[in-house]
Amino acid sequence: MAFKEILGNMIAGIMILYTKEFKLGDIVEIQADQAYLGRIEEITIRYTVIRTLDLRQVVLPNMTLISVPIKTFSAEPIIKLTALFGVHYDSDVAKVLEVILNAVNSFDFVKEKTTTKVFVSNFADSYIEIKSLFSFDPNCGLLTDFAIGYINEKVNNEFAINNINVPYNMLTINFEKEADKQSLIKNIPLQ
């Protein structure tokens, strides 16, 4: 049984190396026993090594790789990514859109900057949802989650500079009688 697995992995390794569905340095998403997103670090005749977003090293048998769905992001010169933001309903939406567009386009990993889109995508309970759709270079050396993280950080800083408020959930309680309010306040435990 063990020999069969070894032989199967070797044949799968030859197929992977021959077909070149992915190569060293490619960013891949693999749906194996769990989902893995990371960069291909090593391809051998028996196994493939992936470095995940959280910097774990995952060694996958090649038989697994030829039998599960794999998305290869690096095979594309450009991929589209989305970043979401929420702003207070009192915000100047035109200003918000401008701030986000400038922040997103300030990064070198954002390509085809003239195609970057920023728009209102939803009216949520406590905020206006803004979506940014931009072109990302998957070969820039960054994983997509890190790129979006850098954008989120930059937008957050720009919001602070431009006095754009990011809302938080709040609950407003209205009392019909002042006595009900006082009763509730009296029963709140203080620590």
Residue ranges making up the domain that contains 9:
2-72
> Are residues 52 and 38 in contact, defined by beta-carbon separation less than 8 angstroms?
yes
Other C-beta atoms closer than 10 Å to the C-beta of 11 total 14
Q: Are residues 145 and 85 in the same domain?
A: yes
Q: Are residues 99 and 151 in the same domain?
A: yes
Q: Which residues of the chain have pLDDT under 70?
A: 1-4, 6-19, 74-75, 170-171, 175, 180-181, 184, 190-191
Residue 47 lies in a domain: yes
The pLDDT assigned to 35 comes to 81
Residue 170 lies in a domain: no
Residue 184 lies in a domain: no
Other C-beta atoms closer than 10 Å to the C-beta of 93 total 13
Last residue of a domain, one of 72, 98, 115: 72
Q: Are residues 39 and 91 in the same domain?
A: no
The pLDDT assigned to 182 comes to 73
The pLDDT assigned to 123 comes to 95
Residue 185 lies in a domain: no
CATH number of the domain bearing residue 31: 2.30.30.520
Q: Are residues 129 and 67 in the same domain?
A: no
> Are residues 132 and 83 in contact, defined by beta-carbon separation less than 8 angstroms?
yes
Give 40-81 pLDDT, tens digit per residue.
Answer: 899 888 888 999 878 899 998 878 777 788 888 766 788 899
Q: Are residues 103 and 57 in the same domain?
A: no
The pLDDT assigned to 12 comes to 59
Residue 50 lies in a domain: yes
Structural domains counted in the chain? 2
- The owner of tokens 């090649």 is 62
Helices 144-161 and 93-105 sit at what angle, rounded to 10 degrees? 130
The pLDDT assigned to 155 comes to 98
pTM above 0.85, yes or no: no
Q: Are residues 97 and 65 in the same domain?
A: no
The pLDDT assigned to 74 comes to 67
**133 phi/psi in degrees, rounded to 5:** -115, 120
Question: For residue 88, what is the DSSP state?
Answer: -
In one letter, which amino acid is 61?
P
User: What gap in Å lies between CA 22 and CA 39, rounded to an integer?
Assistant: 10
Residue 15 lies in a domain: yes
